[in-house]
Chains A and B, each alone.
Chain A
Amino acid sequence: MRVDLGDLGFDEGGHLLLKRGLRSLPAGGEVEVAGSHPDLDLHLGTWCRAEGHRIRPATAPGPGRIWIVARGRADAARLEGAVPAGHADASRPEAVAESPPATWGLAARGALVEAGGPAFGFPLDRRIEVWSDDAARLYAQAVAAQWDPATAVPWDARFDLPDEVEDAVVQVMTYLVENETAALVVPSRFVAQMHPHFREVMQLLAIQAADEARHIEVFTRRALLRRAAPGLSTAGGQASLKTLVEEPEFPIASFLLSVLGEGTFLILLRFLAQHAPDPVTEAVTRLAAQDEARHVAFGLSHLRRHVAEDPAYRGRLSDAVRRRHDALRHTAGLNSLVFDALLVIAAGAWDTAALRRGNQRVMALLRDMDAGRRASLERLGFSLEEAAELSGLHTRNFM
């Protein structure tokens, strides 16, 4: 084999031609190198020395000089022990490892990983705990469905609400902001613990956190649209959310937050969009509900997979609901200000008939939330009785 560099120097990329020529040869295999660059003799010699190749001149110095380069063992030795980190296409068999090694680290799934790399500390490294075959599809949907808070919401719409109704909206927005903050913090914490081998799940959690960032933005902006400050944040509400933020196990946190919490929240947001007293409130709750539906879908998807592989895990999930219920037994649950605000929004007016109608709507909302939770629990394989019991134990704070 012969590599002719022409007048290309090694300091201009000439080494790439020689590397390409050597690549197909076994160790000890030889290639003739020709070239006319004035520094070629110098650069060939020093490059081969550094790379572990051997070189000798085949002709005397002068124009048209030829060198013989014999491939060393080092460049091939670098790949000994290298392993492919699964396969890029998750749909292929064995593409996603059951328990990817810590030394695969940040490597793209499917990349060839050189042996001897550092071991990363990603504690969420078991497929059963995190994986969902729907993650890639949900991520693509999420990317396509991103909306711009600046243009998707009619911030300049003209409307005029009675002070009490505006106060009710502000109180509900205040409550929504702290709940969405919990929904941002929880996946953000787990995404940093997740083995990057589970790329699609990592991406989905990242965009989920970005969704929540937009929700926090629009709910805050709606709260401050006509008022100088948000409303009341209650000790009971924060105590309920703190149990979510501090849950150390990803599948359990996902169950409590995404399936039960956001599932309930989704129904609340749709309720608010339906009964919104103004177009801004309608838009922000409707848009947030679109995103929350995806979050619920992912939670259900990976947990269904999890309990299908490990049916006993259902016991852990139900224990988690009971444990959380016990922890919150002595807290107030949904604060009365939020409850009253929902009733005012659902009533839309202050006459007795409207208030009665509002109360009926809020009661129906609570029933819808319960039915939604029970349906989700049944999809995870809980019996009707278990689903009813666990739904009843869910936090009175909704999330």
Chain B
Amino acid sequence: MGAKPVVLGAVAYDAKVVTIWDGFQRWFQGRGLPFDYVLFSNYERQVESQFDGTIEVAWNSPLAWLQASRIAAALGRRAEAIAMRDSDCDLSSILLVRASSDLARLSDLKGKRVATGAPDSPQATLIPLGHLAAEGLAPGTDFEVVMFDRLAGKHGDHVGGERDAARALAKGEADAACILDANHLLFSQDGTLATGSVRVLGRTAPYDHCNFTVVGAPSPGIARFRELLLSMRYADPEVRALFDLEGLKEWRPGRTGGYATLAQAVDRFGTIDAFVASVASRCA
């Protein structure tokens, strides 16, 4: 074994994750950075592993970022988002209804059935339900929530839950469906939703998605990892294949201003409080 590698954690929401990180591992190692990765089946295990030292940097969902940053705060430490994809910036969630529906405004959803993704999906559940709650519609009280839970613990990374929600809307099993903005065009183009069959009833404010999270002062290895990450170019064919799989055109410096909407939602629903308290107490 040579120098101590930078060890990254990622969640295996799809088989392609192995291809992606094997590829990045080769790329980093080819530039002299010892690098390894560990795959987790769920984000909670990954967040815990960052605090027990198994991994130094975590490729986190926005919900995992909130978990990690709050645990760090409870421990008197600081979490930092060191980089993210260009495609992680300024997303939104939308509420769809059938085009033929007479629902005209969000308040019309009172007493209706609203389809969502997995319970821990920021984009297809937490943020849109938070948006409705902010509009005065309490989930489960003012309207029924029909969750399509694919791969719990993966924070909605798998698109299957959203697709099931969209199908439920199309089939009339739900009155509205919550999905990521980009999936409207995707589902229209892949035939999940017939062209012109749905319309957008509401849209959330912009928010940010995944980031590379480190806790505490970055090591020299992490600094080099970030430097190399930001130097990757889509014109490099080795990088391009991995970017296409991971869904980005460039890495950007991390920013944390885009997580407030999700933070408000999880505060409202108490989604991560017990987990944060549990890990923080064990690590204290």
Contact = CB atoms under 8 A, between A and B. Distances in A.
A80 B233 CA distance: 11
Interface stretch (A37-45, A129-137, A364-372): A37-45
Contact of B94 (A42, A51, A72): A42
Given A12-B195, A42-B200, A114 B237 contact: yes
B241 A77 contact: no
A51 B182 CA distance: 12
B273 interface: no
A49 B195 contact: no
Nearest to A115: B237
A42 B184 contact: yes
A56 to B, nearest CB: 11
Contacts of A50: 87, 182, 247
Q: How large is the interface on B (under 10, 10 to 19, 20 to 34, 35 or more residues)?
A: 20 to 34
A49 B90 contact: yes
B181 A45 contact: yes
In this complex, the member of B86, B94, B234 whose beta carbon has the largest number of chain A beta carbons within 10 angstroms is: B234
Given A39-B200, A77-B240, A46 B235 contact: no
B80 to A, nearest CB: 24
Contact of B184 (A43, A51, A73, A115): A43
B238 interface: yes
A77 B235 contact: yes
Nearest to B182: A46
B249 interface: yes
A46 B185 contact: yes
Interface string B244-265: 0001011000000000000000
B224 interface: no
B200 A52 contact: no
Contact of A47 (B86, B89, B94, B185): B185
A42 B91 CA distance: 10
Contacts of A42: 94, 181, 184-185, 200, 203
Contact of B87 (A9, A49, A117): A49
B217 to A, nearest CB: 32
A41 to B, nearest CB: 9
Given A42-B203, A43-B185, A116 B237 contact: yes
10 contacts: A9-B195, A10-B185, A11-B195, A38-B199, A42-B181, A42-B203, A47-B185, A49-B86, A74-B250, A77-B234
